[in-house]
Amino acid sequence: MRIIYCGLIEYERAMKLQKDFVREVMAGAPGALLLCEHPKTLTLGRAYHQQNILVHSDELLCHGVTVVSADRGGDVTLHAPGQLVAYPIVDLKHRGRDLTVYLRKLEQTCVDFLLDFGIVAEQGEGTRARGVWVGGAKIASIGIGVSHWVTYHGIGVNMTTDLELFKLIRPCGLDVAMTSVKKLTGLSSSMSVVSEKFAGHFLRVFDAKNHSS
């Protein structure tokens, strides 16, 4: 598994990178894990419903939020600085061709990662509750795409994200409170540090080796 740290990157540029890696993996290259942050962006999944954006477009502009369509599952979600975003490019043909197992492993990676910050989180139950939760609040949202059994898109974990931005939408189409590592613990770590921690848990959960070097 190649680990790629992209830093703060425009959402559409990250989508192009993912598609490039998907093509490489289809051609036989090792999988990849892209780790990044995005500027303020609403992404509209394949199950998007317009009523889940709660403000007019001019208010989104006032907040500096752009809107992008995404070929992933799920409804509307939000990315912003302070959110760790992980995009695994994984060939599931060699991993049982089971999307449910894949999603559960991705959620488990996040649960294990959050324990490093003293946060006891849990995986969502049922399709509508996908993601990772702390009590009744959601700390990580998940939405994937799959092409010829190669995954892309992934999971966003709120580290120091401005939670007020989530009031612009119904996250994933749900009336749900969002939370973050900073809100729960007061901790604020650099994104390079948390990216490395997440990558370590991902490699362990998916029983993969780092082939970046």
Rounded Cα–Cα distance for residues 90 and 109 (Å): 14
Top CATH class, 2-205: alpha beta
pLDDT at 170 over 70: yes
What is the reported pTM?
A: 0.95
| Residue ranges of domains in the chain | 2-205
Q: Is 172 a catalytic residue?
A: yes
The pLDDT > 70 percentage for the chain reads: 98
* 203: number of Cβ within 10 Å: 16
Give residue for tokens 């752009």.
Answer: 66
Beta bridge partners of 41: 66, 79
Average pLDDT over residues 204-209: 95
Task: Please count the residues of the chain.
Answer: 213
pLDDT at 76 over 70: yes
Q: How much is the pLDDT for 128?
A: 60
- Mean per-residue pLDDT over the chain, rounded: 94
Task: State the pLDDT confidence band at 213, using cuts at 50, 70 and 90.
Answer: low
Q: What are phi and psi of 196, to 5 degrees?
A: -65, -40
Render pLDDT for 101-135 as a digit per residue (tens, 0 to 9).
999 999 999 999 999 999 999 998 765 678 999 99
DSSP string, 48-108: --GGGB-S-HHHHHHTT-EEEE-SSSSSEEEE-TTEEEEEEE-BGGGTTT-HHHHHHHHHH
